[in-house]
């Protein structure tokens, strides 16, 4: 069955436009609470965390009311990274965890993500059950069967300790100068604490959220300020998180971007050289061909999935692998957390660099990236482009020009009205030309 509200990563959209409205979130809290706690043993309990968007106050209250109406107790965590909610859902033995966030999207958007009791995102069949209940009339429990709400004051401290514990005992970042960009988002408080407590000298950007400046020319989607700060402070490297903290990108000491594919390679190479090894890596259709080639040279299996961390996780589970990710900065170490965790992944990269005695710049050079360009074409509404003859002809023509030495991929965004046009190949000039041609065709036909 097709999902009505859920996309590839929860429900997301423009605040005030259905379904990102207060009344919908009220009903969603009731429906999700009913479905996710029906098999709960003992107290029915759900956690709620959020990023720093001003609309989070409204949606937090609406969800709280819906959950309580369904007889569910609610633990309010306040602004916390998405992976922290996954971790705390498990440690609190809660029936589910809910995150109010639109991740890397601008402040005008918001959304919601769910975690099951095991800390993994919900399977399709559970999302469909919630959607089915949303079409029914909301009913409120009698007074003695209502839930209660409480604020959890030590959630941030718990997560900080969890992040540090993913490194070996005694591991220190002393002597490392790092610039952090927290995107004025959910990592603004916990990320600086983690790196300072591990001994790093830190300079922090994007740690003054005001409800409106999340992802605003900062964080993993806008890394220019971070690159400038790394050069200005002569730092060893810079680390950029997105608004909800499940993505991470790096800047090396020369001010150059190090993307998720390169970070994934650095971690995989380190693990391959360690006694436990690296038995495989899951990427996506967007993963750089250079990553696939570099892993093959080490004898590490690699598979591609559809874009979206839920599909990467599925492939990792199926193959019993612990490592996967996307070029956007979703890096998953499933032996450490159940979802993409920007802080934990960053620490794994730093652990690899320390073990190899290499700078980030030198470490990334062991993987040769193919020139790859992605152009986002914004549309008025989401449109199915699969049957458009002119767009398909433009793609066919580009693939002929690449002559088997590159790839073309057109992908609708799962969360925004965008068509992502990606071209990859050996010749950077040709890649840019072909990507621009296809993007112009899409824009002419649909924008």
DSSP of 328-343: TS-EEETTT-SS--HH
- pLDDT in the model for residue 294: 96
**Could you confirm whether 143 is annotated as catalytic?**
no
Strands (E), 307-363: 323-325, 331-333
Is 211 inside any structural domain?
Answer: yes
Which are the contacts of 141, defined by CB distance < 8 A and separation ≥ 6? 69, 70, 71
Residue 2 has pLDDT above 80, yes or no: no
Exposure string over 247-276, b if 16+ CB within 10 A, otherwise e = bbbbbbbebebbbbbbbbbbbbbbbbeeee
Q: Are residues 199 and 243 in the same domain?
A: yes
- pLDDT in the model for residue 385: 84
Structure tokens at 152: 């959890």
Is 5 inside any structural domain?
Answer: no
The rounded distance, in Å, linking the Cα atoms of 247 and 331 is: 7
- pLDDT in the model for residue 9: 87
Q: Are residues 241 and 292 in the same domain?
A: no
C-alpha dist (Å) from residue 216 to 181, 246, 248, 421: 12, 17, 16, 24
- pLDDT in the model for residue 189: 98
C-alpha dist (Å) from residue 203 to 81, 181, 223, 239, 411: 20, 9, 15, 10, 37
Q: What secondary structure, in 3-state letters, does 194-256 show?
A: HHHHCCCEEEEECCCCCCCCCCCCCHHHCCHHHHHHHHHCCCCEEEEECCCCCCEEEECCCCC
Is 3 inside any structural domain?
Answer: no
The rounded distance, in Å, linking the Cα atoms of 29 and 31 is: 6
Domain that holds residue 420: 372-446
- CATH number of the domain where residue 331 is located: 3.40.120.10
DSSP class of residue 403 equals T
Is 85 inside any structural domain?
Answer: yes
- According to the per-residue pLDDT averaged within each range, which of 39-53, 228-242, 375-389, 398-412 is highest? 228-242
Place of tokens 């070996």: 168
Question: Please, what is the angle between helix 260-273 and helix 289-297, to 10°?
Answer: 10
Mean pLDDT score across all residues of the chain: 95
Q: How confident is the model at residue 417 (pLDDT cuts 50, 70, 90)?
A: confident
Give the mean model confidence (pLDDT) for residues 118-145.
95
Share of the chain above pLDDT 90, in %: 90
What pTM was computed for the model? 0.92
Structural domains in the chain (count): 4
Q: Are residues 171 and 199 in the same domain?
A: yes
pLDDT digits 0-9 by tens, 322-349: 999 999 999 999 999 999 999 999 999 9
DSSP class of residue 368 equals -
Q: Are residues 225 and 315 in the same domain?
A: no
Q: Are residues 147 and 218 in the same domain?
A: no
Q: For residues 56 and 9, is the Cβ–Cβ distance under 8 A? A: no
Tell me which of 329, 347, 364 is where a domain ends: 364
Is 187 inside any structural domain?
Answer: yes
Q: Are residues 141 and 168 in the same domain?
A: no
Catalytic residue among 101, 103, 287, 328: 103
Is 328 inside any structural domain?
Answer: yes
Q: How confident is the model at residue 1 (pLDDT cuts 50, 70, 90)?
A: low
pLDDT digits 0-9 by tens, 384-407: 888 889 999 999 999 999 988 889
Is 1 inside any structural domain?
Answer: no
Q: Are residues 358 and 379 in the same domain?
A: no
Q: Are residues 207 and 107 in the same domain?
A: no
Q: Are residues 98 and 197 in the same domain?
A: no
Give the mean model confidence (pLDDT) for residues 290-312.
94
Q: Are residues 325 and 217 in the same domain?
A: no
- pLDDT in the model for residue 383: 79
- CATH number of the domain where residue 385 is located: 3.30.310.50
Is 4 inside any structural domain?
Answer: no
The rounded distance, in Å, linking the Cα atoms of 424 and 433 is: 11
């Amino acid at each position: 069955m097709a999902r009505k509200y859920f996309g590839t990563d929860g429900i997301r959209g423009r605040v005030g436009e259905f379904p990102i409205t207060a009344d919908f979130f009220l009903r969603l809290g009731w429906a999700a609470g009913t479905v996710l706690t029906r098999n709960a043993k003992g107290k029915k309990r759900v956690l709620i965390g959020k990023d720093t968007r001003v609309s989070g106050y409204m949606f937090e209250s609406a969800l709280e009311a819906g959950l309580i109406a369904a007889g569910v107790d609610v633990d309010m965590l306040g602004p916390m990274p998405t992976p922290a909610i996954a971790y705390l859902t498990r440690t609190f033995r809660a029936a589910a965890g809910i995150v109010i966030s639109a991740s890397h999207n601008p402040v005008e958007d918001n959304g919601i993500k769910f975690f099951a009791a095991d800390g993994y995102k919900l399977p399709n069949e559970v999302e469909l059950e919630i959607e089915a209940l949303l079409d029914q009339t909301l009913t409120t429990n009698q007074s003695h069967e209502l839930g209660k709400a409480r604020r959890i004051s030590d959630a941030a401290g718990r997560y900080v300790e969890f992040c540090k514990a993913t490194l070996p005992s005694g591991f220190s970042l002393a002597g490392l100068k790092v610039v952090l960009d927290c995107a004025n988002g959910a990592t603004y408080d916990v990320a600086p604490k983690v790196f300072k407590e591990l001994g790093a000298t830190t300079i922090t950007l994007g740690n003054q959220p005001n409800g409106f400046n999340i992802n605003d020319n900062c964080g993993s989607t806008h890394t220019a300020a971070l690159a400038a700060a790394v050069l200005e402070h002569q730092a060893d490297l810079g680390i950029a998180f997105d608004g909800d903290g499940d993505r991470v990108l790096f800047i090396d000491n020369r001010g150059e971007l190090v993307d998720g594919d390169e970070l994934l390679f650095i971690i995989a190479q380190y693990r391959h050289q360690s006694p436990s090894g690296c038995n495989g890596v899951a990427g996506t259709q967007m993963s750089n061909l250079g990553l696939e080639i570099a892993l093959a040279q080490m004898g590490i299996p690699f598979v591609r999935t559809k874009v979206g961390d839920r599909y990467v996780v599925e492939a990792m589970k199926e193959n019993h692998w612990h490592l996967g990710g996307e070029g956007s900065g979703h890096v998953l170490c499933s032996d450490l957390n159940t979802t993409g965790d920007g802080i934990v992944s960053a620490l794994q990269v730093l652990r690899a660099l320390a073990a190899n005695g290499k700078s980030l710049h030198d470490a990334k050079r062991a993987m040769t990236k193919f020139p790859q360009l992605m152009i986002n074409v914004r549309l008025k509404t989401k449109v199915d482009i699969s049957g458009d003859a002119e767009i398909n002809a433009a793609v066919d023509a580009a693939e002929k020009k690449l002559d088997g030495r590159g790839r073309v991929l057109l992908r609708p965004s799962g969360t925004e009205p965008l068509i992502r046009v990606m071209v990859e190949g050996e010749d950077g000039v040709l890649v840019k030309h072909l990507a621009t041609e296809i993007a112009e065709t899409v824009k002419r036909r649909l924008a």
